[in-house]
Amino acid sequence: MCGIVGFFSYGSEAQRVDPAELIAVRDHMMKRGPDGSGVWFSSDEHVALAHRRLEIIGLGEQGAQPMALVDGCAGRNGSIVVTFNGEIYNYESIRSSLKARGHKFRSTSDTEVLLHLYEDYGPSMVDHLRGMYAFIIWDETKQELFLVRDPYGIKPLYFADNGQTLRVASQARALLASMAISTTTNDAALAGLLVLGNIPEPFTAWSEIRSVPAGSTMTIDSSGSRRVKKFFSLAASFRDAASSPVPSSVGATVRESMLDTVRNHLIADVEVGLFLSAGIDSCSLLGLASEDHGSMHAITIGFDEFVGRSNDEVPLAKLVADNYSARHSVDVVTRAEFESWLPLMFGDMDQPSIDGMNTWMASRSAADAGLKVVLSGLGGDEILGGYNSFTSVPTWSHRLRIPASIPGLGLTTRILIHHLFRQKSRPKITSLVEYGDSLAHVWLLHRGVTMPWEIATIIGKDRAIAALDDLGLESILANALDVDPGTDLGRVATLEGTLYMRNQLLRDADWAGMAHSVEIRVPLVDPMLLRAIGPFLLRSWGPGDGKRAISRCPVPPLPLAVSERNKTGFTIPMSEWSTNLPAYESWRSVKSLTHDQCPWARRWAYAVAEQFGMI
């Protein structure tokens, strides 16, 4: 895992890239790559690439970046240069096929594979990649900068373009270190944070910075013109899975597919550990990884507030660790530690989120244990139907469709209930009829932190209207469902995977892991896995069956106490901790956030926004 930077000064009046500015952006990401650094400039100095390196595959100088093509097959030596963040899990098979085509390699790194692959296939190289990645390629022959982000958006990539220079980096905050980009925050992003608990792509907290779309390529030519091409759609993947034939052997197919993704995610030249909760996802990964890799080092976080309660992960995690002969590290985090770490967490948080602190703590423990790479069970619930939303959202969507279709009834009902009950009314219940007209709106009702109509009570009516208009929630929902996934389970999984997992869980895993120079890998977030088990998921199984299927994959099997346990989630005691922190209590000045029924997440979203100067 690394930090990458690219500057491209374009147009007829292009200026030389300032080396000091480039290095300032690069070294803002020191934690992403403490093992090495590099820079590269084009001959006219209008293009520059930079890199901070965390050594995982191809240790030593053989993996140093930025890296230029050498020993290519088409006379392109030196004219293709890359700076790369992430891992290409199938790089060895790609290298073998390229060798058969006459390519020669000087290293065992996956970075060099990207250069040769681009020489042969150009932008369509993405069709050959399996992994988590974001990279920048400069093509000297075409005078083009080529940006790529992996299908699910596991790895981030941000850009700012002032009409003269395009600046690209792995972190949004790193771009601010250039001192050439405004720190003015974005009210559309604020609205997204308050409604969803995260900032939906392509927005960032800052008005001049945008995200490169997940599962897309972006090409910038010498005039500054940008072309974006989408190469992956989660909705389309579910649609395709729903129409694919169901293999005859369910258990064998699921087990082999799970073993395949785990094996690929264990590829590294350093030790790979694992975040272990008491949930099916991480426990199944530990069982499968232990089969393939031997004894693993598992990391578990506990809290005194949870002892003796159903959401205490530690006892069952210990049981599972023993079951698979894992080395098990358990760190119990106290409230005092949490409060002392909060300033550090906010300093590391690249974009505002109400989540990620649990992963920050676990990553800290992993780093203390000497680990650079850990597996995480992230994605199992979102892709395999583990949340109650997979049952409740379709159910309520069907129930509410008729009353919601009556013109004006939803708005009238909401206003009447809110007027009669005031602070005692619950916004989501109040909004049931108004947001019952489509499955996407019912999902928003389920997943939302704050209802859009409430934003006016937090930031003022005029500001809220403008912010929500710029945000365009309807377009965000429609873009997620760019094609019809074909089934209710596919539709909910697409919304969970695109708008929650991508914008919150994956983004938080990136910054929280990188804060401690730890690479977090997510074997369940793999297009190949979805392609293999998707037909079962959408045609033979119901909600929850996918999770049960993966729980049966390890040998020996998971303890029944884990496989039959009700889901609690990897949580921290935020309801106990967040409402009584003196430095983060400005939400108390907002009347709509102070009543007894107000969930902690609504209050915390306000506190996070304030820390980023958005309120």
Predicted local confidence at residue 464, as pLDDT = 98
Structure tokens at 259: 């073993």
Pairing type for strands 327-333 and 297-303 reads: parallel
Is the pLDDT reported for residue 450 higher than 70? yes
Q: Could you give the CA distance from residue 108 to residue 215 in angstroms, rounded to a whole number?
A: 26
Predicted local confidence at residue 89, as pLDDT = 97
Question: Which run of H or of E encompasses 322?
Answer: helix 314-323
Predicted local confidence at residue 594, as pLDDT = 85
- Report the amino acid identity of residue 118: Y
Task: For 128-156, give one letter per residue: b (16+ CB within 10 A) or e.
Answer: bbbbbbbbbbbbbeebbbbbbbbbbbbbb
For residue 609, what are the CA distances in angstroms to 173, 194, 346, 584?
A: 15, 8, 11, 11
Task: Domain ranges for the chain, please list them.
Answer: 2-186+199-232, 236-386+492-581
In the predicted model, what is the mean pLDDT of residues 384-408?
A: 94
Q: pLDDT exceeding 70 applies to what percent of the chain?
A: 98
Predicted local confidence at residue 1, as pLDDT = 67
Cis peptide leading into 34, omega within 30 of 0? no
**Domain 236-386+492-581: CATH class, spelled out:** alpha beta
Residue 249, SS3 per DSSP? coil
Contact 105, 120 (CB under 8 A): no
Q: List pLDDT tens digits, range 40-58.
A: 999 999 999 999 999 998 8
Is the pLDDT reported for residue 121 higher than 90? yes
CATH superfamily membership of 2-186+199-232: Aminohydrolase, N-terminal nucleophile (Ntn) domain (3.60.20.10)
| Residues contacting residue 457 through CB under 8 Å, at least 6 positions apart | 590, 591, 592
Phi, psi torsion values for 321, nearest 5 degrees: -60, -40
Radius of gyration in angstroms for the set of CA atoms belonging to the chain, rounded to a whole number: 24
Q: What residues does 210 pair with on adjacent strands?
A: 159
Residue 559, SS3 per DSSP? coil
Average pLDDT of the chain, as a whole number: 94
Predicted local confidence at residue 18, as pLDDT = 98
Which has the minimum average pLDDT: 238-242, 429-433, 501-505?
429-433
Contact 352, 196 (CB under 8 A): no
Q: Could you give the CA distance from residue 44 to residue 48 in angstroms, rounded to a whole number?
A: 10
Q: List pLDDT tens digits, range 588-610.
A: 889 888 877 788 999 999 999 99
Angular region, 487: left φ>0, alpha ψ -120 to 50, beta rest: beta
Token pair 């596991």: residue = 154
Q: List pLDDT tens digits, range 519-552.
A: 999 999 999 999 999 999 998 888 889 999 999 9
Please report the beta strands in 320-427, taking only residues with DSSP state E, as ranges in sequence order: 327-333, 373-375
In the predicted model, what is the mean pLDDT of residues 443-447?
A: 96
Q: pLDDT exceeding 90 applies to what percent of the chain?
A: 84
Q: What residues does 269 pair with on adjacent strands?
A: none
Write the DSSP assignment of 199-217 as a string of letters: --TT--SBTT-EEPPTTEE
- Report the amino acid identity of residue 591: K
| Residues contacting residue 262 through CB under 8 Å, at least 6 positions apart | 285, 288, 289, 292, 375, 523
Structure tokens at 229: 């091409």
Token pair 């300033």: residue = 343
Residue 142, SS3 per DSSP? coil
Cis peptide leading into 66, omega within 30 of 0? yes
Is the pLDDT reported for residue 423 higher than 60? no
In the predicted model, what is the mean pLDDT of residues 348-365?
A: 97
Predicted local confidence at residue 62, as pLDDT = 84
Is the pLDDT reported for residue 425 higher than 80? no
Contact 393, 435 (CB under 8 A): no
Q: List pLDDT tens digits, range 181-225.
A: 999 999 999 999 999 999 999 999 999 999 999 999 999 999 999
In the predicted model, what is the mean pLDDT of residues 448-454?
A: 95
Contact 32, 2 (CB under 8 A): yes
Pairing type for strands 210-211 and 158-161 reads: antiparallel
Predicted local confidence at residue 214, as pLDDT = 98
Task: For 580-604, give one letter per residue: b (16+ CB within 10 A) or e.
Answer: eeeebeebeebebbeeeebbbbbbb
Structure tokens at 590: 């907002």
Q: Could you give the CA distance from residue 615 to residue 609 in angstroms, rounded to a whole number?
A: 6
Is the pLDDT reported for residue 118 higher than 80? yes
Predicted local confidence at residue 38, as pLDDT = 97
Is the pLDDT reported for residue 266 higher than 90? yes
Is the pLDDT reported for residue 424 higher than 80? no
Torsion angle, alpha carbons of 347, 273, 502, 481, to 10: 180
- Confidence grade of residue 314 (pLDDT, cut at 50, 70, 90): very high
Predicted local confidence at residue 426, as pLDDT = 82
